[in-house]
Amino acid sequence: IYVLSDFLRGQHLFSHLFSSRVSALSFRSTPLRFYLFLVKAELIGWQHIDFGFEWRCTSISHFGMAIERILKDDASEEKGERARMASFVGAMAIADLVKTTLGPKGMDKILQSTGRGQTVTVTNDGATILKSLHIDNPAAKVLVELDISKVQDDEVGDGTTSVVVLAGELLREAEKLVASKIHPMTIIAGFRMAAECAREALLKKVVDNKANEEKFKTDLMKIAKTTLSSKILSQDKEHFAKLAVDAVLRLKGSTNLESIQIIKKPGGSLKDSFLDEGFILDKKIGIGQPKRIENANILVANTAMDTDKVKIYGARVRVDSMAKVADIEAAEKQKMREKVDKILAHGINCFVNRQLIYNFPEELFANAGVLAIEHADFDGIERLALVTGGEIASTFDNPESVKLGHCKLIEEIMIGEDKLIKFSGVEMGQACTVVLRGASHHVLDEAERSLHDALCVLSQTVNDSRVLFGGGWPEMVMAKAVDELARTTPGKRSHAIEAFSRALVAIPTTIADNAGLDSAELVARLRAEHNKEDSNAGIDVISGSVGNMSELGISEAFKVKQAVLLSATEAAEMILRVDEIITCAPRRREDRM
């Protein structure tokens, strides 16, 4: 057995034949030190070798002799095959969790919090489900917290379930390829080629009707109905699609959804929901104040209007008579009167405050004929300042530096049993309010999430007006193009490209499965239809067969499909690259005794 050492920086080859029963010897050497790993050795005790160094050998029955630990005691690491398997399993488990919510017949999940009150959420929105999960597996976190579902939700608003399901299917296929000894980097190269090919195939099929206003509005209606068909609003999707399209077209190309306010009021049915121009604030008008103001000048403020007590904490005021207490109260009142006079000097007839307004200042405002609204929530006053063109003020010494808001009419309205304040004819003309009605808070919360998804997709489509058919049609178009690429690609990459095609077909398969249909039969018929020239075939879950997406009016935004494809591929690629998972040791509290 030869031992190689760089002893004293010189390269020497030593050979020494052990007479003991050592069946194998492997080693690692560093200057002046040898690490010898003995396998199946039976020597115990100290042994001296002619070359002047010594080692201690214990009986070992396998190759895993303990070496000096690099990581802390509580830290752990998984390498190679085990690390890759942990990554695959975690990501696929997340995909399987949300898979049943995909498509028009997707099921809902109940999410129960463990905190105080144990709030319950009923939803089939992929982003909401994934946000609520507390996950331990690092690869699953890539799909949920840190990466694709959140980015997809922020970027285009819809497709969060699709992106996780596709990433999970890509990893399921990659696992089989890794098991058949294909290197992860080869798989990644194949996936990249396939993703680019799939994107090119979609680009050839897009339709853009932005030049024709009537056709473009029809496209938006179809996209809104397709987006809402998998949500709680699917029963009234015609009504809500029109509502969402009208709200988005008011934005005139802007993607800032801040100017669309959604108010939820329990009572009535979902069909009673309506869109109202202007801004509605969920507050009541105070007693003795004007109920209607025309050509309003609005000061939006965040300031304390409750100064009828000494505001120095821990302060004690000693007096020797009640008259002096009255003097203090009078001084406080005078201070408040001066503050109100400063506010009135701005020439306003409506004052909206983030904080409380106590009775005395409210009385002063009422005497001056100014409408004072107190305790408007922070989102409320920020949005009000935005839509009326004003700014939130905290000090009132320089009226010329404060920007007031303006609107044509302020009036009190009734929705159900509640009184609200409506601001009409606001400076930001595109501002509007959607009032949602429904049986319970759970229904209203889910309706708001559904409508928000539709508004996001539509606002993005107004900017990028390219449209595709839906119902599994885009996936079949991409799968067909990727299959053709696989047939012309030499080498092992063709296996990865083929696997990519199979992963794409998993989306229409899942849509069919969730609708209780025979997915194998439907997908086979769909594939046959797509081999014909210019096929518009997709899955019609209502009739349970293959249908023409053009006639059924099922459309999706190109931007959503592109984001799903690219995000899922990149996430799968990131997880595929993993060959080691290192879990850091938890921080311990130092003993401060």
125 a catalytic residue: yes
The 3 state secondary structure assigned to 352-370 is EECCCECHHHHHHHHHCCC
Q: How far apart are CA 420 and CA 24, in angstroms?
A: 86
Confirm whether 453 is a catalytic residue.
yes
Provide φ and ψ at 402, rounded to 5°: -95, 130
What are the structure tokens assigned to 532, written together? 């014909």
* Cβ burial, residue 481 (10 Å; 0-12/13-18/19+): buried
Question: What does the alpha-carbon distance between residue 269 and residue 507 come to, in Å, rounded to a whole number?
Answer: 33
The percent helix, strand, coil of the chain (3-state, each to 5) is: 45, 20, 35
Residue type, 180: S
438, 266 contact by CB (below 8 A) = yes
Looking at the DSSP assignment, which residues form a beta bridge with residue 407? 296, 426
Would residue 161 show up in a list of annotated catalytic residues for this protein? yes
Are residues 501 and 486 in contact, defined by beta-carbon separation less than 8 angstroms?
Answer: yes
Q: Closest Cα to residue 137, out of 78, 73, 69?
A: 78
Beta carbons within 10 angstroms of residue 369's beta carbon? 11
Beta strands in 40-75 (DSSP E): 45-48, 54-57
C-alpha gyration radius of the chain? 34
Cβ atoms of residues 539 and 137 within 8 Å = no
Q: Which of 121, 160, 226, 227 is catalytic?
A: 160
**Secondary structure (DSSP) of 516-537:** T--HHHHHHHHHHHHTSTT--E
**Separation between Cα atoms, residue 435 and residue 265, nearest integer Å:** 7
Q: How far apart are alpha carbons 193 and 197 in whole angstroms?
A: 6
Give me the catalytic one of 121, 125, 158, 219: 125
Cβ atoms of 111 and 163 closer than 8 Å: no
What sign does the dihedral 326-327-329-333 (CA atoms) show?
positive
Q: In 10 A of CB 27, how many CB atoms?
A: 14
Greatest extent of the chain over all pairs of C-alpha atoms, in Å: 111
Helix axes 519-530, 493-514, angle to 10 degrees: 120
Q: What is the DSSP string of 77-107?
A: EEEHHHHHHHHHHHHHHHHHHHHTT-STTPP
Burial of 339 (0-12, 13-18, 19+ CB in 10 A): middle
* Catalytic residue of the set 153, 158, 219, 453: 453
Nearest to 194 by CA among 469, 537, 501, 431: 501
| Cα 196 to Cα 430: distance, rounded to the nearest angstrom | 38
Q: Which of 161, 461, 489, 510 is catalytic?
A: 161
Return the active site residues: 125, 160-161, 453
